[in-house]
Chains A and B, each alone.
Chain A
Amino acid sequence: MDSWVIALMLGASIFLGGLALIAFLWGIRSGQFDDEQKFLNQARLDGDEDLQDAVEQEQKKNKLKKKSYKPE
């Protein structure tokens, strides 16, 4: 077996593992693991309604952001 196959496999796996690591680091930084109990409960209480709520919340924030924007 040519050694370039080993090199390719090693490179690919480190790259993919690296992506997963970056995703994990992002998760820690953005506080997704700060409340371990809620983290579990959110999976239990999840539903369309909550998704809708999250979207509305986002829209409300954007609306308020626009309103408070004052041109020079």
Chain B
Amino acid sequence: MTELSKTARAGCLNVSKVACDHCHLEFDETVMIEDGAQRFCCKGCQGVYHLLQDDGLGSFYEKLGDAKLAPPTQQFESSENFDTPAFFERFVTLGDEGFCEVSLIIEGIHCAACVWLNEKALHRLEGVIEADINFTTNKARIVWSDESVKLSRIIDTIRAIGYDAFPYDPSLQEQHANRERKDYYLRMAVAGFSLMNMMSISFAQYHGYFSGIDGDIVTILNVGEWVLATPVLLYSGWVFFRGAYYGLRNQVVNMDLLVATGAVTTYFYSIYITVFKLGEAYFDSVTMIIAFVLFGKFLEVLSRKSAADTLDIITKYVPSEVMVVEGDQMRSIKVSEVRVGDVVALRVGEKAALDGEVLEGEGSMDESSLTGESNPIYKKAGDTIISGSVSIDAALHYRVSRDFAHSTLSHLMSLLENAMRHKPRIEEMANRISERFSSTILALALLTFAAWYFWPHDFDTALMVGVSVIIIACPCALALATPVATLVGLGLGAKRGILFKAAAQLETLSLIDVVVFDKTGSLTHGRPEVVAQWMADEIHAQWIYALVSRSKHPISNGVARALASYDAHLRLEGFAEIAARGVRAQAGEHRLIGGNALWMAEHGISVEPLERSAFYVARDGEMVARFELEDRLKEDAVAAVAYFHRAGIDVQMLTGDHEASARRIAQNVGIKHFAYEQKPSDKEAVIAALQGEGKKVMMVGDGINDILALSRADIGISMGQGSDIAIEVSDVVLLHDSLTSLIEAHQIAKTTYRLIRQNLGLSLVYNAITIPLAMAGYIIPLVAAASMSLSSILVVLNSMRIRYSWRV
């Protein structure tokens, strides 16, 4: 038996696994580095362990307990670019006290001990003033004095202890959303506090109403309620005054106006009762109205998508700087300053920021997200580079042919803005109803007041009855009807990995007539998968896995996925990746190579040509395995298409790919209408044409070439593995990438919409019963308060039913 297969067999039999003293992962004893009493799986772990011991941070391991870490990676880019002016301008903010502040995402945080270690290590650096790491989000905020310490030193410290840090732009959107949420928390805290305390006071009032109570005590209790109700009206209720004001300016009678009028008139009427000692005041109703409706509004805020800021999307998506080659020198400059004719260097793994023509170098580029072409494209001198494509293994220099403002990507972005503006907005049913409802109630209240006043009653009684109409009709249930139902729907979705960005989309999704699918990445996996394989000997599988799992090429990744069960943490020496050819490494005394036919031919191994993409593995010049790969249909694609057909929804497919593969996929899933070789703007045009026929369109896509269609469609759905920008512009994200989620999303939307209609019906029926009672003058404070809570509880309970029907 050869040396190679001996070791591999040892791995299979699972002999003597040892845990590394830093990361606690288990490895074969043979591959461990011995260092005194400790054993480490790699140099990285060893380094970090000694660093922590030397710095007196050894108690990290006690805090860590049995938790496992990822071994530190050692391939870092230089941290110098963290000190460049361009970086500062983009990510660093200057505080009032002259300190710098940056937001970072720390990679590799697994447990509380990791947070502790990072904060501790950073605190020890001179010049670091605050280091605050959020365990839940892995985001860190670091404040430092630039005179004492440079940011690159801070980053190096984080990397030295085995973590990595990336800067991120705490974009205005996110900050804004957080601030708004916090603002609502504060307002709700005030309303909740007052409401709860007021309940106990009101209880005494109501009890007294039936069993007799001193006039003095009633007044004292009224004053107590007055004190509690005032901050609620002025602080918590502020949002309604603001909303009513903006509504009036746009000449709309909205729900805010009804709530504001109701609360204010009730408040002043209650003061009048208190001052002139006329009995029980309605302060509890004021608080209750504001608290309930505020809660409904808060639920909406929680589930609202902030208006997409296109500029922000561009800056996130495009590299802000490129390396320009000037003679022998390389200089990093901003993309907007690059001129036509400049030569730009593109490194492995980078995204091309500009369009151009390759001058030197070669390798594969991933254009799938731009063109829908699922296979990596091999580029050599003379070929064109499209901005937005990603280098898989290509390191090359290219001459810029269009400046940034005119690049393919920028052009797409400007089109995107246009597409977003044309997105149809289906007005929510609740809004339509509440507008009419509000004006009706206000008119009814006035009418009641007038009728009572002129049908000889004194002013007091007429006012009281008029106000009671507003109080009883105050739309607590109506305000809660939609948000509670949608929140339940959103929660159901979230548990299944379906992320609705805004509550209103549930309603729109339930009403769609046409589903348009993108092919690559949506109906198919969008990446090469092994469809046929041959191995001379199973023993080699572990070594092949070790070989391909080191590579970033999609073909290698496909093979690695197919062999994932053979993972044995084997270590290879001298691993190298050769652009557009394959990989090679040394396994003990044996030489392993893996790659395409060209790579085999260069090693003197002849292979027969195959129709599909192939990956060959040879050991010491002898072929040991062959894999055939192609972009496969998702397992649930056929079922999803059939589901939409059954639901009476038209299904279409648009792809940028060529006819043959489009036809093959369409036939396999059973789609009759499909179009191929579609440019991004063509896809948008198809959607627009469908909408022109009065149809509501749902688009399912994942690439940059889908963004126009996604943002134009009534509902844009993107896959969680899709490009960031597609996720950004879409309305719903399917985190699990599966089309079963898509079916579930549609079902959840339909159920939720039915629930909303039921809730609205419930609250309208309730109002139809109570408003005549109020107009007839039968409403006392107790009835007002009780009926308000009762209707709200009904709506909430009804919404909870959905959870049972979905068996959560």
Contact = CB atoms under 8 A, between A and B. Distances in A.
Interface majority SS (helix, strand, loop, mixed), chain A: helix
Given A3-B214, A24-B189, A61-B129, A14 B227 contact: yes
A35 B224 contact: no
B623 interface: no
Interface residues of B, number: 40
Interface string B113-124: 101100010010
B330 interface: no
B221 A57 contact: no
Contacts of A35: 134-137
Interface of B: 59, 63, 97-99, 112-113, 115-116, 120, 123, 126-127, 129-130, 133-137, 145, 147-148, 182, 185-186, 189-190, 193, 197, 201, 214, 216-217, 220-221, 223-224, 227-228
Nearest to A27: B189
A65 B186 contact: no
Nearest to A3: B216
Contacts of B133: 38
Nearest to A15: B227
Given A14-B228, A38-B115, A57-B129, A28 B185 contact: yes
Interface size class, chain A: 20 to 34
Contacts of A57: 123, 129-130
A6 B115 CA distance: 51
A72 B220 CA distance: 59
B215 to A, nearest CB: 10
B145 A64 contact: yes
Interface string A38-60: 10010011000100010011001
B115 A41 contact: yes
A7 to B, nearest CB: 5
B127 A10 contact: no
A37 B135 contact: yes
Interface string A1-30: 001001100110110010001001100110
Contacts, number: 82
B193 A36 contact: no
B176 to A, nearest CB: 16
Interface of A: 3, 6-7, 10-11, 13-14, 17, 21, 24-25, 28-29, 34-38, 41, 44-45, 49, 53, 56-57, 60-61, 64-65, 67-68
Contact of B197 (A14, A37, A38): A14
25 contacts: A3-B214, A3-B220, A7-B220, A10-B221, A17-B197, A21-B190, A24-B193, A25-B189, A28-B186, A28-B189, A29-B182, A35-B135, A36-B136, A37-B135, A38-B112, A38-B135, A41-B115, A45-B63, A45-B113, A53-B120, A60-B129, A64-B99, A64-B127, A64-B145, A67-B145
Contacts of A65: 97
Contact of B97 (A7, A13, A36, A68): A68
B287 to A, nearest CB: 13
A68 B148 CA distance: 10
A32 B421 CA distance: 39
A13 B224 CA distance: 10
A64 B136 contact: no
Given A7-B223, A37-B135, 16 more contacts: A11-B224, A14-B197, A14-B224, A17-B197, A24-B189, A24-B193, A38-B112, A38-B115, A45-B116, A57-B129, A57-B130, A61-B130, A64-B145, A65-B97, A67-B145, A67-B147
